[in-house]
Structure 1
Amino acid sequence: MAAAACVASLAPMVSQASSHREAPLVAGEPQLDNTDVYAFVSPDAPDTVTMIANWVPFEEPNGGPNFYPFANDAAYDINIDNDGDARADLIYRWTFTDSYRSKNTFLYNTGVVTSLDDPDLNFRQTYKLEAITASGTTTLISNGKVAPSRVGNASMPNYQQLADSAITPVPGGGKTFAGQGDDPFFLDLRIFDLLYGGDFSEVGQDTVRGYNTNTLAIQVPKSVLALKGDAVRNPVAGIWSTTSRQRIEVVDTLNDRNRYGGWQQVSRLGMPLVNEVVVPVGRKDEFNATAPRNDARFAPFVANPEVPRLVQQIYKIPAPATPRQDLVEVFLTGLCKACGPVAVDLNSQRLNKDADPAAFMPSEQLRLNMSIPPAAKPNRLGVLGGDNAGFPNGRRLTDDVTDVTLRVAEGVLLPNHPAAVDGLGDAVDANAVAFRGAFPYLALPNVVAVNQN
């Protein structure tokens, strides 16, 4: 109880929630652009963990005629590090294949679609899901079906049924989903207009309201993620997503794109918005190609963050003194009494009893303590609001990471911080549409044009 009371005063670090179009190169290739990662103990199946990773930012619902497929020349990964050495101990990898019933039409669907096998669904995608460990690669699903982009109510009058039919069992327990959904992230992105135009009274517009995104979700037993399969002794896992593409591309005279060579990582996301507002523009593409085990090169940007300096310049709120070891702990190590100045045991892999402390390596990951049960009444501020089942202990769909991280960037974790810090936020406190109560939890894709919302 004492530990819980201490944790209730904590929160995550300097990022502000997500990474939509965060780096120069990947901004031009939205199919490869990781936007968000979520990881939480499943509220309706608390012996499991749900991991969700999203790609393709700002999908306008009426984006035909091609809509929004996953890339068929990329590897989409969710990575798990359960011993804290900054190397993936388990990788879930999705790769996709396209097919058309007819290429003699411009239509995505040639009639009303009532099932994933409907002959009127002209464009279809399937996927292979693999589990990669030190022991080798196991194919879990060889021909999984992707839920199509939501064309509209005339074309897909019962999209809920289509989406549900794309939920596929995973051998050994669990389930997975690939398809489109409402973008679950919520915030006022006018932060990039010199922090809300220099006037916090102007906040409150949910910039991503009405947009969709491409989602990969997987729910598995806790033991699958835990070190040595023991989620009691080893409850903490670190999670991040990556996108990789083959290294060599040859474009022929018919504009066919042929790719060769091994996989090269081109996008990465763990803790939200780190690459977007912590890493400077000259290093963003490098971060997207870097593995967590090499994150020491980015540590100075965490310890000396730019956002508080900008807030001081515009709003005259004093920036906390640097180096910010509190942020290093939250961002690079997870929270534990042996990790740094925020002395509370929460979500560092150092808490795993079978982990080797000598092998532990600070790295950017979204860390989840699977032993903390789902909250009966989740608080949108997560740990900062006294709810240890929320951000930064993993990340739930309902967690308001914008408000939390803005306050933490301004020093709410530190003693004697200015009172003004306690109420900072963007006045966007929840998603515009309700989330579903069962896997994959995201709301269905939007169908109304964004400029009509």
Structure 2
Amino acid sequence: MDDARLDLTDVFAFTVPGGRTVLVMNVNPIAPTGGRAFHPDAVYRLNIDTDGDHRADIAYSFTFSDPADDGEQTLTVHRATGAEARAHEAAGTPLFTDAPVSFGPRPLVTEAGQYLVSAGLRSDPFFADLDGIVKDFQWTGVDWGADKNVFGIVLEVPDAELGADPVIGVWARVSVHQQGALTSVDRGAHPSLTAYFNAEEVKDAYNAGEPADDWDTYRAPWTAVLRHTGGYSEELAEEALRTVLPDILRLDRSKPVAYPNGRTLTDDVTSARLAMISGGKIPTDHIGPHTDLLPEFPYLGTPH
């Protein structure tokens, strides 16, 4: 919708000591150029599948106030379950109300019970030689994301709040109210899928869709992409696609976290995607993770 505030850039899910799980969704690439506050008519949502049916059983919705004249903004967080989790509206139990949002260098962290939340301008953890990718994989050695910012939303929760089974599925969605309706503008979990797999004319339908329908809808066209770009057989292409379709990030919290089992802020997802689409012919872009990450919540680095 040509509004960077509604542009989902990344999703992360990882465990931390003490029996806790961290969920991160980043929006607004090259912030604050595309918008100096979160969209006040948007619903930013993290969806959790606890039983493997590719549908949300728990959802955390983040909504933001109209920015004040001085730029200040506040955040409200709802936790929904059941049918309310499968709808896209913010619903359920309010966990945080009017929590402060930070657009300065210091993150603002709000605690409620065993939950922690922080939202605002942060350093973008995404690392990739995007110029090299565009130049037919002639690597430049330049990390596109090294000096970029995003709007980050970070939630830390007790493991018990995400169900007894250690295996969960996570994906994010950004929706916006306009003309009396809530429109899903962007959704996803695995990085760099739409850029490689979705033709321009299907992107809106993809963003409005549900992960439970992904395999039936996108298996055939995405198989064709892999056969073209990586020389896959149909059988091997479908096997590779099982990792990213449905577009849900699976996290087994009983095992070490490393993409595609969840995703930490230092996982080299660009190289993983390059290897996937090329059939292993392009194993890496030679760019390493960022070094400005915080050792404690909210983990995302100080903005540039």
Same structural fold, with TM-score higher than 0.5 when normalized by the shorter chain: yes
Deviation of 1:169 after TM superposition, in Å, equals 1.2
Looking at structure 2, the residues matched to 99 and 278 of structure 1 have their Cα atoms a distance apart, in angstroms, of: 36
Contact 1:98 1:123 in 2 (8 A): no
Deviation of 1:327 after TM superposition, in Å, equals 1.4
Kindly indicate whether residue 109 of structure 2 is the aligned counterpart of residue 167 of structure 1: yes
Higher strand residue share: 2
Kindly indicate whether residue 296 of structure 2 is the aligned counterpart of residue 428 of structure 1: no
Kindly indicate whether residue 22 of structure 2 is the aligned counterpart of residue 68 of structure 1: no
**Distance of aligned partners of 1:73 and 1:287 in 2 relative to their CA distance in 1, 3 Å threshold:** same
Match of 1:418 in 2: none
Correspondent of 2:278 among 404, 410, 417: 410
**CA RMSD across the alignment:** 2.0
- 1:306-339 per-residue CA deviation (whole Å, 9 max, x = no partner) reads 5x634xxxxxxx622224122132122xxxxxxx
**Distance of aligned partners of 1:193 and 1:135 in 2 relative to their CA distance in 1, 3 Å threshold:** closer
Looking at structure 1, the residues matched to 35 and 203 of structure 2 have their Cα atoms a distance apart, in angstroms, of: 28
Q: Which runs of 5+ in 1 are unaligned?
A: 1-24, 102-121, 151-158, 249-259, 311-317, 333-362, 374-388, 413-420, 447-453
Deviation of 1:46 after TM superposition, in Å, equals 4.3
Match of 2:269 in 1: 401
Amino acid aligned to 1:144: A
Amino-acid identity (%): 29
Match of 1:145 in 2: 100
Match of 2:88 in 1: none
Computing the radius of gyration from Cα coordinates, the structure with the larger value is 1
Match of 2:5 in 1: 31
What is the correspondence of 1:35-74 to structure 2 with a 5 Å cutoff?
A: 35-42=9-16, 45-59=17-31, 63=33, 68-74=36-42
Looking at structure 2, the residues matched to 186 and 301 of structure 1 have their Cα atoms a distance apart, in angstroms, of: 28
TM-score using structure 2 length? 0.90
Match of 1:266 in 2: 185
Q: Which runs of 5+ in 2 are unaligned?
A: 85-91
Looking at structure 2, the residues matched to 52 and 434 of structure 1 have their Cα atoms a distance apart, in angstroms, of: 17
Kindly indicate whether residue 168 of structure 2 is the aligned counterpart of residue 237 of structure 1: yes
Match of 2:140 in 1: 203
Contact 1:37 1:53 in 2 (8 A): yes
3-state SS of 1:223 partner: helix
TM-score using structure 1 length? 0.62
3-state SS of 1:31 partner: helix
3-state SS of 1:131 partner: strand
Contact 2:176 2:184 in 1 (8 A): yes
Kindly indicate whether residue 258 of structure 2 is the aligned counterpart of residue 325 of structure 1: no
Match of 1:80 in 2: 48
**Distance of aligned partners of 1:188 and 1:266 in 2 relative to their CA distance in 1, 3 Å threshold:** same
**Distance of aligned partners of 1:425 and 1:135 in 2 relative to their CA distance in 1, 3 Å threshold:** closer
3-state SS of 1:331 partner: coil
Match of 2:89 in 1: none
Contact 2:125 2:289 in 1 (8 A): no
What is the correspondence of 1:182-261 to structure 2 with a 5 Å cutoff?
A: 182-196=123-137, 199=138, 202-226=139-163, 230=164, 234-248=165-179, 260-261=180-181
Whose RCO is larger (CA < 8 A, sep 6+)?
A: 1
Looking at structure 1, the residues matched to 244 and 61 of structure 2 have their Cα atoms a distance apart, in angstroms, of: 25
Match of 1:391 in 2: 259
